[in-house]
Structure 1
Amino acid sequence: MKSRKRKQLQSQIDPNKTTTDNAEPYPDHPLPTPQDCQAVMDSLFSLHGFPPEFAKYRCQRLKSISPDLTTKISPPPINVGSQDAVKSQTSVEHEHEESVLDGLVKTVLSQNTTEVNSQRAFASLRAAFPTWDDVLAAEPKSIENAIRCGGLAPTKASCIKNILSCLLEKKGKLCLEYLRDLSVDEIKVELSHFKGIGPKTVACVLMFHLQQDDFPVDTHVFEIAKAIGWVPATADRNKTYLHLNRRIPNELKFDLNCLLYTHGKCCSKCTKKGTNQKGRASSHGTCAMLNYCKNSNVNI
C-alpha cells in the first residue's frame, strides 16, 4: 500500500512523466517558433523598452545565475523621459528583496485588480501587520479591512489566512524559502496544495520570485497569443499556458512575458476590452503586433 502511494506521488512530480495535466494540448499547432518569439520580443522591446516595474526581478534572475554578474551588467534599458522610470532604474539595486512568501501573497492580492491597487493592498497589509505571524494571529475582518483597496477582500483574506495556517502546520514556521531547493514540478505540487492558488499564481511565483523559467498567462498575454495565432482561437487560458511553456525557449520566457503583459495593458487593439491606458502602443495608430497577426478574426 505504501509503495503504491509512493509511486502516485512520484508520478505527480516526475518531470519526465507525461500526464493528462501537463501533456501538450496542441501538438499540431506549429506556433510560436523560437524565431517568432525572438522577433516579437525585439519589436516590443523597441517600442516599450524593458518595463521598469520588472527591472528588480530581472536583476534577481541575473544574480541567481551568477552572484557577480549584476555588478558587471548595467540595469536593463527602460523608456526614458519618465520620472517613474528613472526612479525605478536608480532604485533597483537598493530595493528590499522580497521573500517567496511575500511574493505569493502579493500575487494573491493582484488577482482581479489593477497593479496600483494590489500594491496599495500589500503595503496596507504590512503596515497593519508587520510580520506574517501578526497576520496569522489577526481576525479575518481586520485583514479584510487592511486589503480592502485591492478588491475581493473577504476571498483574498481567507486565502492568505489559509496559506499561513497550512504553512505553520506543515513546516512549523511561516516561510516558503524551502521551495528554492525543489524542482519546478515539485514546487507546483507544493503550491497547489494551498486553497485558492491556481496555475497563474504558481507560474508568477516561479518566474518572479523563484527565478525559474516559466511563462504565466494572464488576460493580456492570453488575448495577444490568440490574436497573433500562437494558440488556436478556441484555446482557453490553461491550455495556452501549457502550449506556450512548451514552445517558448526558456531563455526568452521572462523578458517576453513582461513585454507582452506591458503591451497588453497599453494597447487597446490587442485586447477585447478596448481599454486604452497611457502608453505608446496605440497612440501611433498602429500596433507593434500587426505584422505577427495570424488570426483573421481579430482586427488589429
Structure 2
Amino acid sequence: MPLPRPAPAPDATKRDLALEVHRRLCAEYGCPVLYFHALSPLDELVSSLLSHRTKNADSARAFASLRAAFEDWAAVRDAPVAEVERAIAGVTWPEAKAPALQRTLRALTERQGLLDLSHLAGMSVPEATAWLASLPGVGPKTAAAVLSFSTLRGRALPVDSHHHRVAARLGLIPKSLAVGPSHAVLEALLPEDWDAQGFYDHHQMLMRHGQRCCFFRGPACGRCVLRDLCPEGQSRLGTTPA
C-alpha cells in the first residue's frame, strides 16, 4: 500500500516558531505529560473511533459500556447494530458510529484473519500510518492516535480541533488547510531526534492551550503566553507583532 505523501520541506522560520511555542507552552502547562492510558492498539482504535466530536468523558463511558456489554471486539463486530448503538448511546452520532465501528472491525478481520493490531509494532510510523489509514473509517487523526496513545508509544502527532486552531492562528499552517492534511505538515516541523514523548507532549501542549486559552470564540489573547508570536492575537489586541 502507498505510504502517505511526505509533507513539503518545512520552512526554517516555522520550525523555529514551532519549537519556541513548544518551549513556552511546556513552561506554562508542564512537560513531560503522563500518558492518559495504556490501551492495546486495537483497544485504542475502538476508543479513537468513538471519540470523534465527543467529549473525552463521554467517549470513555461509551468505551467502558462496550467492554461491559460484549465479551470481546469480535462480539461487537458480529452483534446486531442496534445493540452496539445502545451501548454507545452517550457519544455524538451513535447511530452512525455503531455501523462504522462494525465496518472497521470486519475489514480488519478480513485483512488479518483476526482482530489484532500487534503487528504494527514491527512497522515504521509511516508504514503503520498507511496501513491503518487503509481501513474504512480511519483517517490521519485516528491512525496517529493509535500509534501515539496506545502501548505502541509511536512518534506520531495527532492533531485535534484545538491543536489545529492554535497552529493556524500562529501561522504554522495555512488557515485553509484542513485537519487531515495538517498532520503531515505539523509533524514535519518537529525535530528528527525527538522521541515519542516529545511528540506526545507537543500535541498535548497545543491541545491544552486551545482548551484553556485560545478558545474558538473569544480567545483570551491578553493572557496568552504566545501573544507576541501570534499574528491573530496581535490583530485582536490591536498591536503590531515584534
Query: Does residue 214 of the first structure (1) align with residue 153 of the second (2)?
Result: no
Q: What secondary structure is seen at the aligned counterpart in 1 of 2:225?
A: coil
Q: 1:32 aligns with which of 14, 18, 30?
A: 14
How far apart, CA to CA, are the structure 2 residues paired with 1:102 and 1:180? 15
Amino acid at match of 1:184: V
Moved more, 116-125 or 285-294: 285-294
Match of 2:187 in 1: 245
Structure 1 length normalisation: TM-score? 0.69
Match of 1:173 in 2: 114
Q: 2:98 aligns with which of 154, 157, 168?
A: 157
For 1:248-292, what per-residue CA distance to the aligned partner results, in whole angstroms no more than 9, with x for missing partners?
Answer: 12413221111111121122xx233448xxxxxx5x951122122
Aligned partners of 2:158 and 2:183 also within 8 Å: yes
How far apart, CA to CA, are the structure 2 residues paired with 1:271 and 1:29? 27
Aligned partners of 1:207 and 1:213 also within 8 Å: yes
Aligned partners of 1:31 and 1:229 also within 8 Å: no
Q: Trace 1:90-109 onto structure 2 (pairs within 5 A).
A: 97-109=38-50
Aligned partners of 1:124 and 1:146 also within 8 Å: yes
Q: Is the alpha carbon distance of 1:150 and 1:274 closer, same or farther for their aligned partners in structure 2, counting shifts above 3 Å?
A: farther
Q: Is the alpha carbon distance of 1:294 and 1:106 closer, same or farther for their aligned partners in structure 2, counting shifts above 3 Å?
A: same
Q: Is the alpha carbon distance of 1:238 and 1:170 closer, same or farther for their aligned partners in structure 2, counting shifts above 3 Å?
A: closer
Match of 1:85 in 2: none
Query: Does residue 234 of the first structure (1) align with residue 176 of the second (2)?
Result: yes
For 1:169-201, what per-residue CA distance to the aligned partner results, in whole angstroms no more than 9, with x for missing partners?
Answer: 222221111111112222122212221111111
Q: Trace 1:266-285 onto structure 2 (pairs within 5 A).
A: 266-267=212-213, 270-274=214-218, 282=220
Match of 1:41 in 2: 22
How far apart, CA to CA, are the structure 2 residues paired with 1:106 and 1:28? 32
Q: Is the alpha carbon distance of 1:296 and 1:164 closer, same or farther for their aligned partners in structure 2, counting shifts above 3 Å?
A: closer
Q: Number of paired residues? A: 232
Moved more, 219-228 or 230-239: 230-239
For 1:83-131, what per-residue CA distance to the aligned partner results, in whole angstroms no more than 9, with x for missing partners?
Answer: xxxxxxxxxxxx7x41110000101111011111111111111111131
Match of 2:240 in 1: none
Aligned partners of 1:31 and 1:247 also within 8 Å: no
Larger relative CO (CA 8 A, sep 6+): 1 or 2? 2
| Divergent runs of 4+, >6 A | none
Aligned partners of 2:10 and 2:185 also within 8 Å: no
Query: Does residue 255 of the first structure (1) align with residue 201 of the second (2)?
Result: yes
Identity %: 31
Superposition RMSD in Å: 2.5
Runs of 5+ in structure 1 lacking a partner?
1-8, 14-20, 58-94, 276-281
Runs of 5+ in structure 2 lacking a partner?
238-242
How far apart, CA to CA, are the structure 2 residues paired with 1:186 and 1:288? 37
How far apart, CA to CA, are the structure 1 residues paired with 2:66 and 2:235? 41
What displacement does 1:29 show? Answer: 4.3
* Structure with max Cα Rg: 1
Query: Does residue 195 of the first structure (1) align with residue 176 of the second (2)?
Result: no
Q: Is the alpha carbon distance of 1:56 and 1:244 closer, same or farther for their aligned partners in structure 2, counting shifts above 3 Å?
A: closer
Amino acid at match of 2:208: T
Match of 1:182 in 2: 123
